[in-house]
Amino acid sequence: RLLFGNWEYDDDPFVLMEYEKIVDLFTNTHIVGGNKYMTIDVARLGKDDTTIRVWNGLTSIAKKVIPKCRIDDLTRLVRNLQREHGVPNSNTIADEDGVGGGLVDNLRCRGFVNNSTPLQIFGETKNYQNLRSQCFFKLAEIVNNNLMFLQNEPITDRERVVKELEQIKQIDADKDTKLKIIAKEQLKIVLGRSTDEADNLMMRMWFEIKKMEKRITSKPKVRTTS
């Protein structure tokens, strides 16, 4: 099915996101705004473009696809976008694997390492293989509950988003206690390209999980009496 591009996965229990909910991403106009964020999927070896999204809460309000360029030029472009949209460095995250590490160093922003240790949330019983898996499971929760809006998404980009998110599935569910997502290399074979759109949306989840980590692990205030 994967090899010959059969995209009908309604009977696959390991697909994370429902097709109808993925399509809803482009019409979820009820989503309210919030803090500004930026997610950057940096061009790597064999990939020509860098994909940048600017977020207002969980609404993607702007997207830039930048042809492969020098890291210094990309750094200047990102800083201009930060100023234009009011996005602080602390709310900016870039794929740190490969050449993306140079952008993270220049900007001094957040760096996303796919195979790094998942964020620890007090009281969470789920065990993830890595940060990438944790963030994709969180993305599935957000998408399936209609909590994200991709505003003004071009038609051709919509098709890419849908096809990529349809392929995000859990693997080895019966072999490992850790929750694991299909590998990037396998997705590239299935789709014939990198999952730039899915990866960009997935990185946005780092901030949502980090907020949960801060809220749950913060110490309660101690009241004193005189």
List pLDDT tens digits, range 83-94. Answer: 999 999 999 999
Mean pLDDT in residue range 15-30: 96
Given this model, what pLDDT does residue 188 score?
A: 87
3 state SS of 87: coil
Average per-residue pLDDT for the chain:
88
Given this model, what pLDDT does residue 11 score?
A: 63
Given this model, what pLDDT does residue 98 score?
A: 79
Mean pLDDT in residue range 193-211: 95
Mean pLDDT in residue range 190-217: 87
Calpha distance 209→197 (Å, rounded) = 20
Could you tell me if 165 and 45 are in contact, meaning their C-beta atoms sit under 8 angstroms apart? no
Residue 1 has pLDDT above 50, yes or no: no
Given this model, what pLDDT does residue 10 score?
A: 53
Of residues 123 and 158, more confidence is placed in: 158
| Gyration radius from the chain CA atoms | 18
Q: What pTM did the predictor assign? A: 0.87
Calpha distance 186→11 (Å, rounded) = 20
| DSSP one-letter code for 181 | B
Say which amino acid occupies 10.
D
Given this model, what pLDDT does residue 226 score?
A: 46
Backbone dihedral angles phi then psi of residue 51, each to the nearest 5 degrees? -110, 125
Could you tell me if 38 and 91 are in contact, meaning their C-beta atoms sit under 8 angstroms apart? yes
